[in-house]
Amino acid sequence: MKKEYEVTPYEVKGEVDYEKLIKEFGVERINDKLIERIEKHTGDLNILLKRRVFFAHRDLNWLLDEYEKGNKFFIYTGRASSKGSKVHIGHLMPWIMCKWLQDKFDAEMWFQFPDEEKFLYKPELTLKDTEEATYEDMLDVIALGFNTKKTFFIIDTQHANLLYREACRVAKKITFSTVKSSFGFTESNNIGSIFYTSMQAVLAFLPSVLKGKNIPCVIPLGIDQDPHFRISRDVMPKIGHYKPAIMHNVFLPPLTGMGGKMAASSNKDAAIFTTDSPSEVKRKINKYAFSGGRDTLEEHRKLGGNPDIDISFQYLKMMFEPDDKKLARIETDYRSGKLLSGELKAILIEKINTFLKEHQEKREKAKLIIDKFIFKG
Ligand code: TYM
């Protein structure tokens, strides 16, 4: 039977069924017990955990066991830059989680910029294109406020001397047939793309190699990136390292409707980029944000709207309204018909533009400190 959706690092299609994905990928749901266990250490919960945007995991209980024994962990995530595919607000989800974890657990952050990845996958890209895009994307990461002293950027082509040796050790234990079935590759994929997954694996244990002792690792990521680690986690104990723990977030959907993944490369009007101006944000949301409202004002007042399918409400719930009471009021008013679709959109526009104003100021300032983040090993 053909599936209605597809989730790989290189393609997200159709209406994603997260319940089915949990079973298919063999990950565990983040349940209340685990949330309580995290909160015991952090004192509070960030919105992404509270609202279960981070919904699944691998081995988080092990990570906390180690932490409670005094074995501190480091955090790892990444971003593969590509010309014409700028950072959007969905990309920020795993990075905001990383920043929160860094603050709460005083942890090192290792951030990979695989500038060869999209070069290998997209025929039209040059290495110069991806290098330039990497610079822009680093600004977005820095703007989130990572600790300069504890955050290390690794750029694959610049740090190849550190990565290549370890990537070979991983690559030797992964067959072409595994990569083919996990990523939907065919015989005509280039050989660079076949090797790439071993480059992404390395940072999950590189700090252990550099420090000469095994250090636990946690990787917050969008669930599309899980297949890289599903393959490579099994290899790590075989080469003498811990398997990393993973935390998976659902996708921020595109403006045009629930179920899919906001993506920079498909419909530019369906994504909100971190560099969008206030008027662009307003235009996109007013014109494209899928509404759960009724066709006419009379009908809406009488029957009410549906926040479950309303993109503006969902963005507030997932990212932009951390106050539970305010969110509950918006939901009740929308369901009852008191709050109109245009008014709900106005609330979201205001929230996103406030966030982006600050983000863009920090992004400018980041240009002056970028060098402090690049790993000098
Ligand atoms: P990339 O550049 O495609 O995406 C960066 C991160 O953003 C997540 N993401 C989303 N999350 C929520 N909603 C969305 N609409 C959305 N779109 C993308 C992705 O899942 C990812 O976590 N190969 C990687 C780069 C990488 C990496 C890593 C990622 C290198 N090492 C380690 C995670 C962990 C890539 O192409 O990500």
Rounded Cα distance, 47 and 55, in Å: 12
Task: Provide the percentage of residues in the chain whose pLDDT is more than 70.
Answer: 99
Q: Is 82 in the pocket of ligand 1 (CB under 6 A)?
A: no
Average of per-residue pLDDT across 306-331: 98
Average pLDDT, the chain: 96
Q: Residue 141: what pLDDT?
A: 98
Following DSSP, what letter does each residue of 27-40 receive, concatenated?
Answer: -EE--HHHHHHHHH
Q: Are residues 280 and 166 in the same domain?
A: no
Residues 215 and 137 in one domain: yes
Q: Give, in order, the Cα–Cα distances in Å from 162 to each of 150, 168, 281.
A: 19, 11, 41
Whole-structure pTM over 0.75, yes or no?
Answer: yes
The answer to whether residue 376 sits within a structural domain is no
pLDDT exceeds cutoff 70 at 254: yes
Whether residue 299 is contained in a domain is answered as yes
Q: Is the pLDDT of residue 51 over 70?
A: yes
Does 165 or 5 have the greater pLDDT score?
Answer: 165
Give the C-alpha separation, 109 to 226, whole Å: 19
Structural domains counted in the chain: 2
Residue nearest to atom 28 of ligand 1 (CA): 78
Tokens of 138: 């680093």
Residues found in the chain: 377
* Residue 113 CA, closest ligand 1 atom number: 30
Tell which atom from ligand 1 comes closest to the C-alpha of 91. 7
Q: Please write the tens of the pLDDT for every residue from 173-201.
A: 999 999 999 998 999 999 999 999 999 99
Per-residue pLDDT, 2: 59
Predicted pLDDT of residue 68: 97
> Cα-atom radius of gyration of the chain, to the nearest Å?
21
Interval 235-249: pLDDT, tens: 999 999 999 999 999
141 Cβ closer than 6 Å to some ligand 1 atom: no
Q: Residue 5 forms beta bridges with which residues?
A: 14
Residue 377 confidence class, pLDDT cut points 50, 70, 90? confident
- Provide the greatest CA pair distance for the chain: 69
Looking at residue 10, its pLDDT comes to 87
Q: Which domain CATH number covers 288?
A: 1.10.240.10
CATH number at residue 84: 3.40.50.620
Which residue's C-alpha comes closest to atom 10 of ligand 1?
91
Closest C-alpha to ligand 1, atom 15: 262
C-alpha–C-alpha distance, residues 168 and 281, integer Å: 44
pLDDT tens, position by position, 2-14 = 578 889 998 888 8
Q: How many CB atoms lie within 10 A of CB 141?
A: 27
Determine how many CB atoms are found less than 10 A away from the CB of residue 43. Answer: 7
Please check the confidence at residue 231 and state whether its pLDDT lies above 80: yes
* Coil vs helix vs strand at 125: coil
Dist CA 25 CA 22 (whole Å): 5
- Same domain? For 18 and 165 the reply is yes
Q: Determine the structural domain holding residue 338 and report its residue range.
A: 268-364
Task: Say yes or no: CB of residue 78 within 6 Å of ligand 1.
Answer: yes
Question: Do residues 27 and 76 share a domain?
Answer: yes
Is residue 369 in some structural domain?
no
Q: Which residue among 18, 79, 141 is best mutated to probe the pocket of ligand 1, counting the most ligand atoms within 8 A of its Cβ?
A: 79
φ, ψ dihedrals at 242, nearest 5°: -70, 150
Q: What is the mean pLDDT of residues 346-375?
A: 98
